[in-house]
């Protein structure tokens, strides 16, 4: 599985749990620690936690190891570092505050196809 395909799969996993504003960013020409960011939002701490847990479980089922999991306790911004793809699951207010899309505005958005299951 390529890192692009992995990022698109993670976007779908987030969508499975009704994540909002899902964005995949191509970071390959901008940073040297990953290829893609996946950004998404949840409405509450429980929702953010459910999204992150679902992504983690689906990656585990696919044989992809998440090396670092940060923010699980507070569940307002959870980061899942899968090596080539780093996933950020935010509560809306924190996403608006940190504005990672603006910070990394040089990154190109990658399309992904939402599938209903």
Per-10-residue mean pLDDT, the chain, length 117: 95 97 96 96 96 96 93 93 96 95 94 78
Q: Is residue 112 part of a domain?
A: no
Question: Number of folded domains in the chain?
Answer: 1
pLDDT of residue 103: 94
Q: Is residue 98 part of a domain?
A: yes
For the CA atoms of the chain, what is the radius of gyration?
A: 13
Q: Is residue 15 part of a domain?
A: yes
Q: Is residue 28 part of a domain?
A: yes
pTM metric for this prediction:
0.94
Report the C-alpha gap between 57 and 17 in whole angstroms.
Answer: 12
Q: Is residue 21 part of a domain?
A: yes
pLDDT of residue 21: 96
Q: Is residue 56 part of a domain?
A: yes
Strands 85-91 and 36-42: parallel
Q: Is residue 117 part of a domain?
A: no
pLDDT of residue 104: 95
pLDDT of residue 89: 98
Domain with 30, as residue range(s), is 3-106
């Amino acid at each position: 599985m390529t890192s692009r395909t992995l990022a698109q799969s993670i976007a779908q996993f987030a969508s499975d749990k009704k994540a909002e504003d899902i964005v995949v960013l191509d970071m390959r020409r901008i940073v040297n620690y990953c290829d893609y960011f996946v950004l998404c939002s949840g409405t509450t701490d429980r929702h953010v936690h459910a999204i992150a847990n679902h992504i983690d479980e689906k990656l585990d089922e696919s044989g992809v190891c998440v090396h670092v999991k940060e923010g699980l306790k507070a569940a307002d911004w959870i980061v899942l570092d899968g090596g080539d793809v780093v996933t950020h699951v935010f509560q809306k207010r924190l996403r608006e505050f940190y504005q990672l899309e603006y910070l990394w505005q040089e990154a190109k958005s990658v399309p992904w196809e939402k599938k209903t299951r």
